[in-house]
Amino acid sequence: MKIRELMQLAPVIPVLVIDDAEHAIPLATALVAGGLRVLEVTLRTDAALAAMKAMTSVEGAIVGVGTALNGDDLKRAQDHGAQFAVSPGFTPELGKAANDIGMPLLPGIANSADIMRALDHGLTELKFFPASQAGGPSMLKALGGPFVEPVFCPTGGINLKSAPDYLALDNVLCVGGSWVAPAAAVRAGNWDEITSLAAASLQLTR
């Protein structure tokens, strides 16, 4: 699927930091049961790649890699079943690497110059990161003036309370958030809580 299609499946893309690959299948199952199919597994732990591979076995899950920084990250993730990639920033080298292996990429931007570089490479679906620190909804609204083509997935410091402020913007298709899979709930194996949080996030309107 193309990045824009993935962004339109639900108002929230879970951003997952997984310390134990044994949690991968029950976590993905809980999120999919709650209605969140697009799952971003960040490359921040030693268990990330194994977790991605395990999650691909969960029916309905669309698994991607987050915190992808270079072509090696993209290839390793693709080899472990990742179907899309999310990066905290953008470089032409990263864009070329994603294009070379056919990996849909959602690159991070924080300002006008970042957006212009992404547009130069044909990328119109962008991650606004770190959203709360980079100006929040008011910044994204302002960026919508000169940049009418891009659409955004703001990520960073967003929770259930602040998400509606972003989703109310015309240039926002979804938000990225970790609140739907709290670390304490994952460690405790409280999968019902995670399913409930995922289901609650579907009530957010765009």
Residue 148 in contact with residue 2, Cβ under 8 Å?
Answer: no
Q: Using a pLDDT cut of 90, give the percent of the chain over it.
A: 99
Q: How far apart are CA 61 and CA 1, in angstroms?
A: 13
Q: Which amino acid is at 132?
A: S
Mean pLDDT across the chain: 97
Active site (catalytic) residues: 40, 127
> How far separated are the first and last CA of the chain, in Å rounded?
21
Q: Is the pLDDT of residue 185 over 90?
A: yes
pLDDT classification of 44: cutoffs 50, 70, 90: very high
**What superfamily would CATH give domain 3-201?**
Aldolase class I (3.20.20.70)
Read off the tokens for 71: 């072509």
Q: What is the pLDDT of residues 47-81, one digit of tens each?
A: 999 999 999 999 999 999 999 999 999 999 999 99
**pLDDT confidence of residue 68:** 98
pLDDT band per the 50, 70, 90 thresholds, residue 206: confident
Q: Please write the tens of the pLDDT for every residue from 14-37.
A: 999 999 999 999 999 999 999 999
Task: State the Cα–Cα distance between residues 63 and 40, nearest whole angstrom.
Answer: 6
